[in-house]
């Protein structure tokens, strides 16, 4: 796909931090590249993006982001293959989802050419920041926030669209134990759970801290009404394998339509793995664990791709999952990452050359 955005402004940094970075020991999202993209919405239109040195943002104390939380974001990665060529994975899906979030949060939608050419122009400038250590990548964070001012409770009249990049090592969480939530909810019917709104994640922190104090790593979210149905794993979609069937919940106005989730479903079908997209109850999962039919549980998202769950707790009882040699999690993660790093054919058309 080719897009042409006229007169994009590029101000190159006079210095670089790249020589100070240990690319073999990168924590996730804690080191930032030399440049960022900034695009302002003013007078009813998005202006031409500007690429500038990475720097703090100046905002008025009355900016509505601080008072009414109008903010959305995406998570993406850029990868390098063995020839040093950079690639993206399904970026048009990220753009589409960003605008779904924007619409729900009463934020002006981002034009496709602004998103795609702004992003690719930034990555051409930052290509040396894409790590080549196995499993590493350049994490990309596009986000939009309300910069217009006013204490009145209404949408802002000005916004900032920004893209920042952070070289990150392999995201490995080890053996994760999770607590099935019985009281708190991530989102509710009619709410903003399907949008990548900043407040969704802020609201998760407190219940997650409570779970950590009990010895768990993360929370499994259940439905807001009855807490009887499994919905998400922390900030990730969740997959559950009972016998040889891989199950995940349907998307709704409570559940994020994850890009990794969609990819896993298509790859599983290609592998001949039986999948079901349906509601799955906590009772069904507990019963399957007791009978030995519960084989796997794993989260799916951009950061980790696939994060296996080793155990879960519910109503004071812990249940361990078996260690398998033929687990679906490893197979599906390899299939996705082989496409992302250009190690194999991309029959789905997901890989995007920068």
Is there a single domain that holds both residue 106 and residue 165? Answer: yes
Report yes or no: 276 and 331 within 8 Å, Cβ to Cβ.
Answer: no
Domain annotation covers residue 3: no
Q: What is the pLDDT along the chain (354 residues), one digit of tens a residue?
A: 334 455 789 999 999 999 999 999 998 999 999 999 999 999 999 999 999 999 999 999 999 999 999 999 999 999 999 999 999 999 999 999 999 999 999 999 999 999 999 999 999 999 999 999 989 999 999 999 999 999 999 999 999 999 999 999 987 667 799 999 999 999 999 999 999 999 999 999 999 999 999 999 999 999 999 999 999 999 999 999 999 999 999 999 999 999 999 999 999 999 999 999 999 999 999 999 999 999 999 999 999 999 999 999 999 999 999 999 999 999 999 999 999 999 999 999 999 999
346 falls within a domain: no
**52 and 23 belong to one structural domain:** yes
Q: Which positions ≥6 away from 22 have C-beta within 8 Å?
A: none
Any domain includes 350: no
Same domain, 166 and 180: no
Q: Is 131 left (phi over 0), alpha (psi -120 to 50) or beta?
A: beta
pLDDT of amino acid 3:
40
Half-sphere exposure of 145 (CA within 13 A, CB side): 21
Task: Supply the pLDDT for residue 7.
Answer: 74
- State whether 161 and 57 are in the same domain: yes
Same domain, 120 and 254: no
CB-count exposure of residue 187 (10 Å: 0-12, 13-18, 19+): buried
User: Which of 170, 187, 203 is a domain's end point?
Assistant: 170
pTM, 2 dp: 0.95
Whether 126 and 243 share a structural domain: no
Domain endpoint, select from 110, 141, 170: 170
Show the DSSP H helices in the chain as ranges.
65-68, 91-104, 112-125, 198-213, 259-270, 282-291, 328-340
Domain containing residue 272: CATH number:
3.20.10.10
pLDDT reported for residue 63: 98
Say if residue 196 is in the same domain as residue 334: yes
CB contact set of 222 (below 8 Å; sequence gap of 6+): 180, 181, 182, 185, 228, 229, 230, 231, 282
Residues 123 and 267 occupy one common structural domain: no
- How confident is the model at residue 2, as a pLDDT? 38
Residue 352 domain-assigned (yes or no): no
> Of 170, 187, 214, which one is at a domain's C-terminal end?
170
Give dist(CA 145, CA 122) in Å, integer. Answer: 20
Q: Evaluate whether residue 1 is within a structural domain.
A: no
User: CB atoms < 10 A from the CB of 276, how many?
Assistant: 13
Give the per-residue pLDDT at 203.
Answer: 94
129 and 70: one domain?
yes
Task: State the pLDDT at residue 173.
Answer: 62
Angle ∠(192,350,324) on CA atoms, nearest 5: 80
Q: Which SS3 state, helix, strand or coil, does residue 161 take?
A: strand
Asked if residue 91 and residue 164 are part of one domain, the reply reads yes
In a domain, 121, yes or no: yes
Confidence at residue 4, expressed as pLDDT on a 0 to 100 scale: 45
- 209, 312: one domain: yes
The pLDDT value recorded for residue 332 is: 98
Query: Domain containing 55 — which CATH number?
Result: 3.30.470.10
Does residue 24 sit within a domain?
yes
The answer on 223 and 138 residing in a single domain is: no
Q: How far apart are CA 188 and CA 191, in angstroms?
A: 5
Q: What are phi and psi of 202, to 5 degrees?
A: -60, -40
DSSP string, 278-300: S--BHHHHHHHHHHT-EEEEEEE
Q: What is the 3-state secondary structure (H, E, C) of 74-117?
A: CCEEEEECCCCCEEEECHHHHHHHHHHHHHHCCCCCCCHHHHHH
In which residue are the tokens 């080890």 written? 174
Given a contact cutoff of 8 angstroms between Cβ atoms, the answer to whether 236 and 255 are in contact is: no
In the chain, the number of structural domains is 2
Tokens of residue 13, six digits: 């940094």
Task: Give the range of the structural domain holding residue 279, as residue numbers without chain letter.
Answer: 176-340
């Amino acid at each position: 796909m080719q897009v042409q955005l006229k007169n994009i402004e590029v101000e190159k940094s006079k210095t670089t931090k790249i020589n100070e970075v240990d690319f073999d020991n990168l924590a996730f999202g804690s080191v930032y590249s030399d440049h960022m993209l900034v695009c302002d919405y003013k007078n009813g239109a998005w202006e031409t993006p500007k690429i500038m040195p990475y720097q703090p943002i100046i905002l008025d104390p009355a900016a509505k982001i601080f008072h009414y939380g109008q903010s959305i974001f995406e998570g993406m990665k850029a990868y390098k293959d063995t020839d040093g060529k950079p690639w993206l994975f399904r970026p048009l899906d990220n753009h589409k989802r960003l605008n779904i979030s924007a619409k729900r949060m009463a934020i002006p939608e981002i034009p496709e050419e602004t998103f795609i050419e702004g992003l690719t122009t930034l990555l051409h400038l930052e290509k040396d920041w894409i790590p080549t250590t196995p499993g590493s990548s350049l994490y990309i964070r596009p986000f939009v926030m309300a910069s217009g001012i006013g204490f009145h409770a209404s949408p802002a009249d000005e916004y900032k669209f920004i893209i920042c990049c952070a070289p990150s090592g392999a995201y490995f969480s080890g053996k994760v134990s999770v607590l099935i939530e019985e009281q708190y909810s991530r989102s509710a019917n009619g709410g903003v759970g399907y949008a990548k709104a900043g407040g969704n994640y802020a609201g998760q922190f407190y219940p997650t801290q409570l779970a950590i104090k009990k010895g768990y790593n993360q929370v499994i979210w259940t439905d807001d009404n009855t807490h009887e149905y499994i919905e998400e794993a922390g900030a990730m979609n969740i997959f559950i394998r009972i016998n040889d069937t891989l199950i995940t919940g349907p998307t709704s106005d409570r559940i994020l339509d994850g890009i990794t989730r969609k990819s896993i479903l298509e790859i599983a079908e290609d592998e001949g793995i039986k999948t079901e997209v349906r509601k799955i109850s906590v009772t069904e999962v507990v019963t399957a664990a007791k009978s030995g039919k519960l084989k796997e549980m794993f989260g799916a998202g951009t950061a980790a791709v696939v994060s296996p769950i080793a155990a879960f707790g519910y109503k004071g009882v812990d249940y361990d999952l078996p260690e398998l040699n033929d687990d679906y999690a490893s197979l599906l993660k390899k299939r996705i990452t082989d496409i992302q790093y250009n190690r194999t054919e991309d029959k789905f058309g997901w890989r995007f050359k920068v």
